[in-house]
Chain A
Amino acid sequence: MQDNIKISEFSRETLDLVNRIINRYPKGREKSALLPLLHIAQSENNGWLSPEMMDYVASLLKIESIEVYEVASFYSMFNLKPVGNCVIEVCQTGPCWLRGAENILAHFEAKLGIKPGETTQDGKFTLKTVECLAACGNGPVIQVGKEYHENLTTNKADELLEKWKRENKISHTNPYL
């Protein structure tokens, strides 16, 4: 976990992507690019949106910072507090529950020694519960970054945890790349 590192501006490459995205919307409607830009910003800021990062996004879109804050706080994919390197999101809605999601969540809690919403001491993992991920036929389902892991069992969960530990998994990568 890293807090409040000073944000530098996006790289040239990222700014090119940002401009391509802004150009998808009509002149005067650049604000439409806000959600895509916040996804990118979060990935470039260790998986969360700091006030500084949101101010920077506001400056890119030439809108007020408050317009960014009110949007960022509405959508559940945006983290407004620091998170671990690897955020594990466990679906807990009906269809996944019917197929054992509670066991999976309890298993991650026990293995990581944390509750949903918490981050491990070493800053490597954050556990989150989420609502329906639209993969109900293959429940229990978890999401890590862009990856879906479906038909989860406790064995599979262990394998994944081992793998993520080994490779120092970082779940917040630029989703466009």
Chain B
Amino acid sequence: MATQILLKNIDVPGLAGFQVYRNLGGYTAVEKALKTLTPDEVTDEVKKSGLKGRGGAGFPTGMKWGFIDKQSGKDRYLVCNYDESEPGTFKDRHIGTLNPHQLIEGMILGSYALGAKTAYIYIRGELFYVLNIIEKAIQEAYNNGYLGQNILGSGYSLDLYCHPGAGAYICGEETALLESLEGKRGNPRIKPPFPAIVGLYGCPTVVNNVETIATLPWIINNGSDAYAAIGVGNSKGTKLISACGHINKPGIYEIELGLPVEEFIFSDEYCGGIRDGNKLKAVVAGGSSVPILPAELILKTAAGQPRLMSYESLSEGGFQTGTMLGSGGFIVMDHTTCIVKNLLTFARFYRHESCGQCSPCREGTSWMEKILTRIENGQGTTKDIDLLVDISKHVEGNTICPLGDAAAWPVASAIRHFREEFEEHIKLQKCPF
């Protein structure tokens, strides 16, 4: 059984309540940190653990904290990214619903390390019922002296609040999130300056994903060495994988990084194989934006090595034959799936979610959706395939935020690996599925 850091007690009844969480060793990391560690020592532990951000980009967490401007004299903020909107990703919902105190404990640790007096959890508006659960848990944490003034007599004070979004994937992008938290449209900011220097209200700010933050108590309790001992290469620790699509057991699994993809898909401990005894056709391994891979390339690298669930292994081969771990949103498709139609739903998603600020993304996403609709409906021409590739290239890298890339990669990769399926739609003048 893999080490469980996030899901260990997830089935314990009443875990969302303070007392149950506390009885299982909850809030001991806060006690340890506030009583025996300086903020910089907490940051060092996180640096040494090798923890990378679990929101998708995989940026080393401790290093990000190290960039925070502690000299400016301004307030500093920690903001938790609970926007969870990347199609295929549904792991954070699980943590907040069933184990909110672990997230809160992580927020206290992170805020202490950064010297933040106020922290926010920005949660997508659709998950308001989860916001209610977390707010209740926050109230309990206040009542028990883990939030508010002079926590545990340490002299450190912290206020923690939830903030709802209102339906916009783009607000998962950290600078759009900060705009949204300031009560504005979610238009991403130009970087630099990075939030660590100019973030919320112009103050130094760190934005971290829910899973990243909920991992912190374990690292502080067990030490960075214990964390770094889990995983392979530079992929340290465990990762939540939310698996969906045509598998027998969709759900949220905590894996040790380095697990073979084949084992993840086919073993009963995880996805339990493909539904109805069907054949595996393709996988989108890290949320809708990462390149799709056909069965042979997701199970083995182009060099013939078993593909592992790790940052390095999934990206081996670059975009020609590899993909990315991304957010851990693992979408599995069996042989009955129309790759064009699946892609069309993604294209519609990105068109809908483009904030409209940059023309390549605003126009490109709607052109891609239009052309894909045409092909799927049997009205495409051979030129359309190259046109799609051309548009995707003009979107990629030409926008303020990576939503443009996120919209372009699925299109480029689907054509790269499944070109004949697009051609068949055009030849038959209908969808072959």
| Chain B, residue nearest A29 (CB) | B201
Partner of B87, one of A34, A76, A95, A148: A95
C-alpha gap A147/B132 in the complex (Å): 12
Residues from chain A with a CB closer than 8 A to the CB of B128 are: 39, 146, 175
Indicate if B349 sits at the interface (CB-CB under 8 A).
yes
Given contacts A26-B201, A136-B331, contact A35 B85 (CB under 8 A): no
Contact across chains for B331 and A94 when beta carbons are under 8 A apart: yes
Indicate if A139 sits at the interface (CB-CB under 8 A).
yes
Contact across chains for A139 and B166 when beta carbons are under 8 A apart: no
Partner of A98, one of B165, B242, B245: B245
Contact across chains for A98 and B87 when beta carbons are under 8 A apart: no
Q: How far is the CB of B18 from chain A (nearest CB, A)?
A: 21
Contact across chains for A71 and B183 when beta carbons are under 8 A apart: yes
Map CB proximity to B onto A44-86 as digits: 1 under 8 Å, 0 otherwise. Answer: 0000000000000000010000010011001111100000000
Map CB proximity to A onto B72-108 as digits: 1 under 8 Å, 0 otherwise. Answer: 0001000000001111111011000000000000000
Residues from chain A with a CB closer than 8 A to the CB of B86 are: 132
| Chain A, residue nearest B245 (CB) | A98
Indicate if A153 sits at the interface (CB-CB under 8 A).
no
Q: How far is the CB of A159 from chain B (nearest CB, A)?
A: 21
C-alpha gap A136/B268 in the complex (Å): 20
Indicate if B352 sits at the interface (CB-CB under 8 A).
yes
Given contacts A95-B87, A132-B169, contact A143 B182 (CB under 8 A): no
C-alpha gap A148/B352 in the complex (Å): 21
Indicate if B264 sits at the interface (CB-CB under 8 A).
no
Among B311-361, those with CB < 8 Å from A are 329, 331, 333, 337, 341-342, 345-346, 348-349, 352-353, 355
Among A138-161, those with CB < 8 Å from B are 138-139, 143, 146-148
Contact across chains for B84 and A134 when beta carbons are under 8 A apart: yes
C-alpha gap A26/B169 in the complex (Å): 26
| Chain A, residue nearest B126 (CB) | A133
Q: Give the most central of B184, B288, B349: most A CB within 10 Å.
A: B184
Residues from chain A with a CB closer than 8 A to the CB of B252 are: 137
C-alpha gap A27/B268 in the complex (Å): 54
Contacts A143-B126, A175-B131 supplied; 5 other A-B pairs, CB < 8 Å: A35-B165, A35-B183, A92-B345, A132-B349, A134-B127
> Hey, which bits of chain A sit against chain B, CB under 8 A?
24, 26, 29, 31-36, 38-39, 61, 67, 70-71, 74-78, 92-95, 97-99, 130-139, 143, 146-148, 175-176
